[in-house]
Amino acid sequence: MFGTIYSFELKRWFKSWVFYVYAVLFFVLSFFVMASSIGVFDEVKATTASLLKMNSPLMVNNIIESFNSLLYFLFPSIIGASIYRDYKYNVHNILYSYSFSKFDYLGGKFLSAFTVTLSISFLIGLGVFLATLSPMANSDLLGPNLFWNYMQVYLYSIIPNMFLMGSIVFVLVTLSRNVYIGFVFILVIMVFKGFVNALAGEEEYRVVASLLDPSGQQAISYYTQYWTIYDINNNSLPLEQWFIYNRLIWISISLLFLLFLGIVFQFSQFGFTLSFAKKEKGERVTKNNFGGLYLINLPKVTYNFSFVQQLKNVFSFAKLDYVHLVKNNVFLILVGVGLLFMMSVASVLSMMYGTETYPVTRQMLEVPGSTFQFFILINTFLGAGILVHRGILSRMNLLIDSTSTPNWVFFASKFIALIFMQFTLLMVILFAGVAIQAYKGYYNFEIGLYFKDLLGFQWIEFIIWALMSIAFQSAFRNYIVGFFALLTMSIGWNYISKLGIEQLIFYFNDLPTPRYSDMDGYGVGVGKFYIYALYWLLFVCFISGLTLLFWRRGGFAGVKERFAIAKDRATSIIVIPTAIFLVAFLALGSYLYYENKVLNVYRSAKDIELLTVDIEKKYKKYEQLAQPRIVDVKVDMDIYPASRDFKAQGKYILKNKTTQAIDTLLINCRTDYKNQISIDGADLVTIDSISGYQLYKMRESLKPGDAVNMHFVVENKPNTLIRSNSPVLENGTFINNGHFPQIGYQRQRELSDNNVRQKYDLPERERLADQTDPNALANTYISSDSDWITFETTVSTSSDQIAIAPGYLEKQWVDKDRNYFHYKMDQKMLNFYAYNSAKYEVKREKWNDVNIEIYYHKGHDYNIDRMIKGVKKSLDYYTENFSPYQHKQVRIIEFPLTMGAFAQSFANTIPFSETIGFIAKVDESNNDAVDYPFSVTSHEVAHQWWAHQVIGANVKGATMLSESLSEYSSLKVLEQEYGKGQMRKFLKVALDSYLMSRKNESKKEFPLMYNENQQYIHYNKGSVVFYTMSDYLGDKVFNDVLKQYIKKVAFQEAPYTVAKELVDDIYLATPDSLKYMVKDMFETITLYDNYIEKAEVKQLENGQYEVKFRAIVSKYRSNDEGEKIYDEDGPPKIFYQDSNGEVKESIRLRDYVEVGVFAIDNKVVESKGDAEKVLYLQKVKISAIENDFTIIVDEKPSEVGIDPYYKLIDTQTYDNRYKLK
């Protein structure tokens, strides 16, 4: 019987056109996306470049998994409905009287439907695979095509996941006899996954997350998080402990569900109900209304079909439909789950180094972000279907359709019901947000902002979707098909970018929602948002006109008849507005196109790529052309916050510092501004408005040592409603000198990817030159047209704002209702400056004779004192250990998040983003929470030394001298202030970030001293390396090296210093026993894999404790792709076989590694302080992989550790410590 049911169901599906639509859809989508990611469409779009092989097991897993998640939305209607269909069509009455077993029936139904979904899933894999065979594919993006790569993905990941989702959907829908429940389950799982992903952001929860994730993807991530490019390209999926456990747990859960169904399912007329209420005693029903004749005299009533009455009806019917959508358990469950999600995520997401932020309203609105929005969208898609098909689903449609209420009344009432459902969900966000704020003791509820954001922006986007959803749902007979079509469209539409279609007007309802900043509000993008909203609103209004024509009323046979009906309905009252909407939509679209493409230069990514090639080919020849250097800058900068314009009038003094006469000048200007340039004694030769290069010829050549004045005026083109041509903001402008003209060829504008360069016949290049390249040594990494400059500027802004630039305020005045500030720098500085202007509050302090000033947005005063303390402590430490501070002032200036989430150090001036630090909620007693307002401040202050005193040449390793050393310096200040506890958290996060980022490398991973401005190396690895070196050598010794180094190179002229110079100094200061560290840390990429294999403790007779443990230490080098290397020149590698027979390798060891034994001080645990008590801590010389220790301590130990403070670059830090039983 099983076979009969199974094959009958399969045949039914394979005969259905729906199956083929799904199959083709998934096949085409996956083929298309894979094809795009391996460069098949590179003819029309920007070249695809990556070091990753797109058909490696992990990459194949990622792409198939993501499409498969979309497939889950079909489960309710395929797997869920397999038994539900029998109820729906009342076949169960007959079927259940037949003699087959539950197993035959349930098993046959489930497995057949599962087979159907599996076949669609296999088509995804097939699509991906076939795409790799395309002759147009870029072979650099593909590894060997192995069947096993796909097989393992299905075996470990996809099939178990489908089984899990399928079986639970099957059980839920079968028991509830409601397909909608299946959708709810899918949504709940998605929300749950969102929660798990957020959880995994914190390192200590990753094991839990890897078990909790129903899709197992977090378990895969757990093992692949530190994979390098080499690992990703070559490794199979990690079939390891937590991943296996994950699979076992979730498969067991699915089996339990199926077992439960097997037990409770009954071949009965009525569904399974789980009820705890006692059944009331039934009443015997008898009939007594026999016979009876009536005279029917209906009361006379008036019938009113006026427009006004119909309008009233619209709202009355809308209420009815709204209640239907909202007042059911399913919807309430969904809202509940959404709320829980928001609550749980709100506490994790804004974490940085373990410290959370104050729950400001802006963040409450950002946190629920995409997940909750997707949630509302799904509800809109489903809700539209439920409303449009409400009559048909309840079979009341014929009664309704034969009444004289016109179609538009139905349409309008359903539309209103739908958008009020959205409104309800948006209000849920508001209430949840306020509740979270109140719970966290934050009472500044910006209710107005909630409304503005939720109703003024988000709702509009959803309203457009509502109209589109009604259109789709009325086109399809089955609301699940309609839902799926909408889902596919909402996700699939974005893929047009893969074809090189990039203009916003082609992206349905992709509204450019402006980001809210406490400082600048919604800022410049509001007008643009509403224009695009209007544009798509016109489109959906046109579509709604069509929807009305094709509105489902009564029955029709086939498409032809439907069109005939629509034609009958096409009266002028519908057709004319519809046509007007279409014309208006097209007109606005054409205007936007005209604005983008004709009035302004619009370049696609492909155009930009070609242009970049062109510019390099044309101007590269000027790279070595001798040019004068900027030695003096004077700028009059006018900032107009209200109209968001600026005008800069400046003068450079250009000096010939070379030994030859110069007669040609190459000036580079930003092409999006109006630039006027005049150079005394020079004539314009050519001006290239596309590249921005201008060539000038000196009438008399500029002799060595001579100087010439260059004048410039730079101003933005006028801003329009939809186009911002200026970086000026209404409140919180932050512009740097990158907007002003530069001298000479700009190498950084070249294409950097070598595969792409090869395609255009450009020679290979590295991002930065070698440390021996004499041309590169002549420039700092900040600027290629200047060394040190003298600087003076006058900034003007509106009367309510303060404007700031590097230098000291010489004079301040008001003229014509504008504020003027004249700043002058009293000594030489880098050609690197910025302007800030906003309505600021100012806090002033003093450190010795240095003025400290914080310019901040009103209300953002939570951490001002912390920042001031940071500045003071930094100045203390740096002046004592490095060199005197060159300025008499430190200013920190807040800028809006729309300009970025970073802080940047200019001479005596530090712009600092509102998102980092200003709203951080620092918990000083918590050792796992870094006081980052303090540490970021001290990092930026450190730049006054590391960049503004010592500046590296524009070669590899330059940022080690600025970023790594600033990280190191700020760590030292942090350590002095907070002790070792916060240090450990900081270093752990730094190491984690470094290891995680290695796989994102787009070219080559370099050792620290050769890094090419790679953030994960110079910040994350750099901070660990310098901290550890200083720890091993001793602070004093190490800081003395730095002190001497500063003395040697500070404020030097070209050739500039390089990383090797500092590393050589460190090498000299390093004792011979540790010299290997210089090679490991700076010169090579070296990683450890250290862990405790086993440990035991016993109490001795004298009351002491003896701890015995085995520590495993191994070390390897890595090449620039992340391949592990154990063989290197010199002594051979060493081996160790552990108790499982697994062999570990290592390069030769003669290393000093810390070994520690710890106890927990229970008294301190409560207060979250540093509860750890060190019983034993030594740097021990290690020369073998396995190392047995026996250590006797006085107190009862709780933990032992090898490198317990994560000072070494270790691929798995979680196993460095071992808890004793």
Binding site for another protein (CB under 8 A): 287, 289-296, 298-299, 301-305, 309, 312-313, 316-317, 320, 324, 390, 394-396, 398-406, 553-558, 561, 564-565, 568
Amino acid at 231: D
- In terms of CB distance, is 263 or 277 closer to another protein? 277
Whole-number minimum distance, CB 289 to another protein, in Å?
6
Calpha distance 36→289 (Å, rounded): 73
Which CB sits closer to another protein, 135 or 292? 292
Distance in Å, CB of 391 to another protein, minimum? 8
Which residue in 780, 832, 783 sits closest to 807, CA to CA?
832
Structure tokens at 565: 């009906």
Nearer to another protein among residue 407 and residue 649 (C-beta): 407
Q: For residue 1027, what is the enclosing H or E element?
A: helix 1022-1033
CA distance 650 to 789: 14
CB of 549 or CB of 1193, closer to another protein: 549
Number of Cβ atoms within 10 Å of the Cβ of 314:
21
C-alpha 542/C-alpha 648 separation (Å) is 47
d(CA 197, CA 222): 11
Nearer to another protein, 259 or 573 (CB): 573
Q: Which of 983, 1166, 987, 931 is nearest to 355 (CA)?
A: 931
**Is the Cβ of residue 263 or residue 298 nearer to another protein in the bound state?**
298
d(CA 1089, CA 1116): 8
> Residue 476 Cβ, how far from another protein at the closest point, in Å?
18
DSSP secondary structure of 1070-1125: S-GGGHHHHIIIIIS-EEE--EEEEEEEEE-TTS-EEEEEEEE--EEEE-TT--EE
Euclidean distance between CA atoms 550 and 564, whole angstroms: 10
CB of 187 to another protein, least distance (A): 23
915, 928, 935: which is closest to 203 by C-alpha? 928
Residue 193 CB, nearest approach to another protein (Å): 33
Instruction: Measure the CA–CA gap between 845 and 76, rounded to whole angstroms.
Output: 65
Q: How far is the CB of 558 from another protein (least distance, A)?
A: 5
Minimum distance from CB of 300 to another protein (Å)?
8
The neighbour count for residue 762, using CB atoms within 10 Å, is 17
C-alpha to C-alpha distance for 304 and 422, rounded to whole angstroms: 32
Q: 3-state DSSP call for residue 307?
A: helix
Tell me the C-alpha distance between 867 and 1218, whole Å.
Answer: 38
In this structure, are residues 1133 and 1147 in contact, taking their beta carbons and an 8 Å threshold?
yes
- CB closer to another protein out of 292 and 1071: 292
Alpha helices (runs of H) in 883-979, residue ranges in sequence order: 932-943, 958-959, 965-978
How far is Cα 176 from Cα 81, in angstroms, rounded to an integer? 11
My answer on whether omega of the bond before 628 falls inside 30° of 0, hence cis, is no
* 1000, 504, 610, 40: CA torsion to nearest 10: 60
Residue 181 Cβ vs another protein, minimum distance, rounded to whole Å: 16
Shortest Å distance, C-beta 305 to another protein: 5
* Nearest-approach distance from CB 312 to another protein, in angstroms: 7
SS3 89: coil
Written as six digits, the tokens of 183 are 């959708």
CA dihedral 760, 763, 764, 765 (to 10 degrees): -110
Min dist. Cβ of residue 398 to another protein (A): 4
Residue 581 Cβ, how far from another protein at the closest point, in Å?
Answer: 24
* Of residues 558 and 763, the one with the C-beta less far from another protein: 558
If we measure between CA atoms, which residue out of 844, 932, 936, 854 comes closest to residue 893?
854
Give me the least distance between CB of 477 and another protein, in Å please: 14
Nearer to another protein, 394 or 1104 (CB): 394
Q: Least distance (Å) from another protein to the CB of residue 317?
A: 7
**Structure-token match 């051979």, residue found:** 1132
Nearest to 68 by CA among 150, 145, 8: 150
Nearer Cβ to another protein, position 568 or 1053? 568
Q: 596 φ, ψ to 5°?
A: -75, -40
Q: CB nearer to another protein: give 276 or 294.
A: 294
Would you say 94 or 301 has its CB closer to another protein?
301
Of 329 and 758, which has the nearer Cβ to another protein?
329
Q: Quick check: 177 and 87 in contact, CB under 8 A?
A: yes
In the complex with another protein, which residue's Cβ is closer, 277 or 293? Answer: 293
**CB-wise, 99 or 302, nearer to another protein?**
302
Q: Give the residue with the Cβ less far from another protein, 298 or 1100.
A: 298
Torsion of CA 68, 71, 76, 78, to 10 degrees: -110
1101 burial level (CB within 10 Å; 0-12, 13-18, 19+): exposed
Minimum distance of another protein from residue 311's CB (angstroms):
11
Work out how close the CB of 11 gets to another protein at its nearest, in angstroms, rounded to a whole number: 21
**CA–CA separation, 603 vs 596, rounded Å?**
9
CB closer to another protein, 139 vs 402:
402
**C-alpha–C-alpha distance, residues 186 and 209, integer Å:** 19
Dihedral angle sign, alpha carbons of residues 567, 568, 574, 575? positive
Instruction: State how beta strands 889-895 and 850-856 pair.
Output: parallel
Q: Which two tokens stand for residue 858?
A: 């009103």
Handedness of CA 973, 978, 979, 984 (dihedral sign): negative
* CB 320, min distance to another protein, A: 7
Strands (E), 746-888: 786-798, 802-804, 808-815, 818-824, 829-830, 834-838, 841-847, 850-856
Q: Between 97 and 404, whose beta carbon lies closer to another protein?
A: 404
**Least spacing, CB of residue 77 vs another protein, in Å:** 21
